[in-house]
A and B are shown apart, each in its own frame.
Chain A
């Protein structure tokens, strides 16, 4: 029993870490709260849904489609909307991303209606057992891919020139500009990467659970928590935070039932903000 709860938490945690990172790179680098990120994840899921139904593709193989689709969408959103108000302060950027969220939800509603949609690949429901703990193949796959993406992103930020220029912009936009970095472009790229990662997570999500246009809102508290607990821009921190959160969720479901899941998650988040505002790693920004 305990083993099962731990494993559930761990598997869920990998997914949380990755969507958390997708949110926190925008937060850490541009200081923008992207209230539309949950819905971007859902759009990725819809791409998978549409592609697997229309083209008969295995949902798993639609991953490149959702990544590319959301990358392009993210780039355009940043270039034609967010960059226009990026210096306008928190209230302006937050209202903008919320407005965006509404627009995306409404588009999804127009195309797919409010019903829940899911995928049903042939390997759905298959699982194996280790020491009395059941592990569904799909969940394991999601976990592995999410962790993989997170690590690749970390390497991208540390090892590539583009990654370094993004980090430099995060630390000091003015200085970066003087060094010849195009801030507007860097922001576009950052947001596009964040969206693409979110889109990929949407594909993974719909492998396991059906979605509706409103599902994105449920992710918000997870995104916030991973971003803060993981420390802004610290990817190892985000991994740890995602897993801790997965555990919290899985244990709270065991002890208090699923109905109290939201009570526990929100309460935990508020406590984190009060007692651990700089997260596990104690670092605030990229660097």
Chain B
């Protein structure tokens, strides 16, 4: 097995970052858009990581904030002539605020109940968006086109998503080293024990979900402007929600860079492999989900750490088996 030293990792990471910074000057539009998409899923997976990976609350319907952010930007820009920057800030804060309001009753629910509640909440938002005039109903909304042409748009959204992703990573890094991070993790592992150790779970859970919603909302808003079109079916989807969780689990729950790695990996192969087999798209994603949860439930890094041998792989499987 190849062993990479700490210095080696730093070098690889640094080189990769440099490449990402220069990529728009080196690559064609297709690759730029693919990378932008990878950044987007990186942010989404990192957001899910904060509420689910660190705090243990499995918001399976987290895409609801994506849709909310997308629609806030779309409606503000088209109906009220807001600038993108202002609309986006409102989208992020709006998603956060919404998570805090619904979080008060919903974050009291445990486990399966919370999962179901967030899924229903996403369906509810989609159903409402489908039925009210200001969002254009099922027809969707067309946003203003990014000024300056396709190449400029590629450039802009590439760096914008990249910046957002770096912001999300730094934020998660800060959380992981702070009181917040310890409180989140304590709640994830044992909420009752955490409260007996002096942690008031309610505010911490609310904060975790609000941060998660903030980034997800920003991403949704950026996506709407990037695509310059959004409809309810696109904005509120269960599939990307599940993908975000897959990326987080594959990369490593409750780690800073794991979800990003997972996102890059899954988005990359999804583009290269699934693009070729459109009619097998679901099947392949389904198989990946099944294989990942059976063989790498603790993430890919954990597998590498234990060593990549067949017997170790099977030993890992035994752990969760009844």
Contacts and interface: CB of A to CB of B under 8 A. Distances in A.
Q: Do chains A and B touch in the complex (CB under 8 A)?
A: yes
Interface string B179-196: 000000000000000000
B16 interface: no
Contacts of A274: 105-106, 109
Contacts of A100: 286, 290
A68 B59 CA distance: 35
B131 A95 contact: no
Interface residues of A, number: 48
A266 B127 CA distance: 9
Interface stretch (B150-158, B218-226, B276-284): B276-284
A99 B290 contact: yes
B119 A220 contact: yes
Contacts, number: 142
Nearest to A227: B116
A148 interface: no
B164 interface: no
Interface residues of B, number: 48
Interface string A72-87: 0000000001011111
Interface in B246-276: 246, 249, 253
Contacts of B290: 81, 96, 99-100, 103
A117 B94 CA distance: 42
Q: Is the interface of B mostly helix, strand, loop or mixed?
A: helix
B293 A92 contact: yes
A266 B123 contact: yes
Given A91-B52, A263-B128, A224 B116 contact: yes
Given A33-B112, A106-B286, A110-B279, A90 B123 contact: no
Interface of A: 27, 31, 33, 81, 83-88, 90-96, 98-103, 105-107, 109-110, 173, 183-184, 187, 217, 220-221, 224, 228, 259-260, 262-263, 266-267, 269-270, 273-274, 277
Given A86-B320, A86-B321, A262-B126, 15 more contacts: A33-B116, A81-B290, A86-B322, A88-B319, A91-B249, A91-B253, A94-B245, A95-B293, A96-B293, A99-B285, A100-B286, A102-B286, A263-B128, A267-B124, A270-B120
14 contacts: A33-B112, A33-B115, A33-B116, A85-B320, A85-B321, A88-B319, A93-B293, A99-B287, A99-B290, A103-B283, A106-B279, A260-B131, A267-B124, A274-B105
